[in-house]
Chains A and B, each alone.
Chain A
Amino acid sequence: MVQGVNTIVGAAPALDLDAQLMLRVRDGDEHSFGVLLEKHRNPVIHFVYRMVQDRAIAEELSQEVFLRVYRSRETYEPTARFTTWLFRIATHLALNWLRDGRKERGHQRLDATRDLEKDGEMPAREVSDRKPSVEQRMVYETTLREVREAIALLPEKQRAAVLMHKYEEMDYSQIANVLECSESAVKSLLFRAYESLRARLAHMVTGETR
């Protein structure tokens, strides 16, 4: 179970700021929990969203993540970096959701023609003064769809490793702590994941990257 992971993650070299805030939460300071929530809310939701590829589910699971953090405050021990613990909970919940068979529903949504604007996925650059042309917009949507599908086709653990490596900029040891495996296993996961992605997205090579 996830609830007890706060005491079994590997040793942390020093008490990070987040862990100090969490210790204050343990002592009854709810304001510190608000600070932690503000700081980590978006990374957690974005990570879970990219895992499950459904905005509503991502927010529901992310609420559960922070709820579990809050519930565990009394037994919290800063034995690891706070983000490692946080993302371990998030990863467990996302993987459980995917493995629970509910992913089929998510994939149905993914396979369908998605309204990216409705899901809020059109990039911020669209709001800028220079509106993208219809062609640019179509290219972007095609690219985005292919990326999402390529990520969705990865085995769940590879997917989690890639998302943490690429978007959360975690190093190998932190990913290993989150996924509860060795660093060499993480390197292997990432190598295989990026190999699959290179094969699926190779046709996107443009003159710029050459």
Chain B
Amino acid sequence: MSCPLQTEETDLLLDYSAGRLDAVRAAALAHHMETCPDCASFRMEQKTVWDALDAWEPAPVSMDFNRRLWQRIEAAAAVPWYQSLAESLRFANWKPVVPLTAAILVIAAGFLLDHPRAKNNPAPGVSVTEANQVEQTLDDIQLLDQLDAVIPAGAVKSKSM
């Protein structure tokens, strides 16, 4: 058997230490470790870790865990959809959203700076005041024409002299 440490098959040593290696490979590895001090040392250290982790027994579960869960399930069924959505978002990890939002804002700002909005050029048009003035002028011209027609040019000249 080739050395697991040299062939980067350390999972074999982990599995051996955990007692999860099949009998054939376990026997081969045990035989190899008789002549490989590195693997033997690895296995001994790993067993130490394994035994130490065994010491960590978890705390017992609260007696009313199930009751509280069923209460939450019943309460969840009664709340409106938007509240249950907010509740589920409570446990979401928002940290990745911050840089993403910042990146979107920077891109949007860059786009706006690069493509400034066209200035509001008002469409050529005539204001109400201007229209009234033009109409007034046309009326005046028409009135003068009518006066010219009624009063002969000579009469106007003799009066003025």
Given known pairs A41-B65, A205-B45, A209-B44, the reply for A49 and B58 (CB within 8 Å) is: yes
Question: In chain B, what residue has the closest Cβ to A46?
Answer: B58
Residues of A within 8 Å of B18, CB to CB, are 165-166
Q: Quick check: B49 and A201 within 8 Å, CB to CB?
A: yes
Residues of A within 8 Å of B31, CB to CB, are none
Main SS of chain A's interface residues?
helix
**Residues of chain A at interface, number, CB under 8 A:** 59
Residues of B within 8 Å of A191, CB to CB, are 10-11, 14
Q: How many A-B residue pairs have CB under 8 A?
A: 116
Q: Quick check: B69 and A37 within 8 Å, CB to CB?
A: yes
Contact of A144 among B10, B55, B73 (CB under 8 A): B55
Docked CA distance A118–B73 (Å): 29
Residues of B within 8 Å of A201, CB to CB, are 48-49, 52
Contact of B49 among A68, A121, A194 (CB under 8 A): A194
Q: Quick check: B69 and A96 within 8 Å, CB to CB?
A: no
Docked CA distance A167–B56 (Å): 10
Q: Does A210 touch B at the CB level, under 8 Å?
A: yes
Task: List 15 other contacts, CB 8 Å, given A64-B91, A151-B53.
Answer: A42-B61, A58-B59, A61-B91, A63-B65, A120-B59, A140-B55, A167-B53, A190-B11, A194-B14, A197-B53, A198-B45, A198-B49, A201-B49, A205-B45, A209-B51
Docked CA distance A123–B57 (Å): 6
Docked CA distance A95–B44 (Å): 31
Q: Does A59 touch B at the CB level, under 8 Å?
A: yes
Docked CA distance A111–B49 (Å): 21
| Shortest Cβ distance from residue B51 to the other chain A in the assembled complex, whole angstroms | 6
**Residues of chain B at interface, number, CB under 8 A:** 37
Docked CA distance A100–B97 (Å): 12
Q: Does B80 touch A at the CB level, under 8 Å?
A: no
Q: Quick check: A50 and B73 within 8 Å, CB to CB?
A: no
Docked CA distance A95–B55 (Å): 24
Residues of B within 8 Å of A166, CB to CB, are 18, 50, 53
Residues of B within 8 Å of A204, CB to CB, are 48, 51-52
Given known pairs A49-B59, A99-B93, A147-B56, the reply for A202 and B66 (CB within 8 Å) is: no
Residues of B within 8 Å of A169, CB to CB, are 20
Docked CA distance A45–B44 (Å): 31
Contact of A67 among B53, B65, B73 (CB under 8 A): B73
Q: Does A1 touch B at the CB level, under 8 Å?
A: yes
Q: Quick check: A144 and B56 within 8 Å, CB to CB?
A: yes
Docked CA distance A198–B46 (Å): 6
Docked CA distance A3–B48 (Å): 39
Q: Does B76 touch A at the CB level, under 8 Å?
A: yes
Q: Does B60 touch A at the CB level, under 8 Å?
A: yes
Name 24 A/B residue pairs within 8 A (Cβ), A-sorted.
A3-B88, A34-B66, A38-B66, A41-B61, A41-B65, A41-B66, A46-B58, A71-B76, A71-B84, A96-B93, A97-B91, A121-B58, A123-B55, A123-B57, A148-B56, A151-B53, A166-B53, A169-B20, A194-B46, A198-B46, A198-B48, A201-B49, A202-B45, A204-B51
Q: Does A76 touch B at the CB level, under 8 Å?
A: no
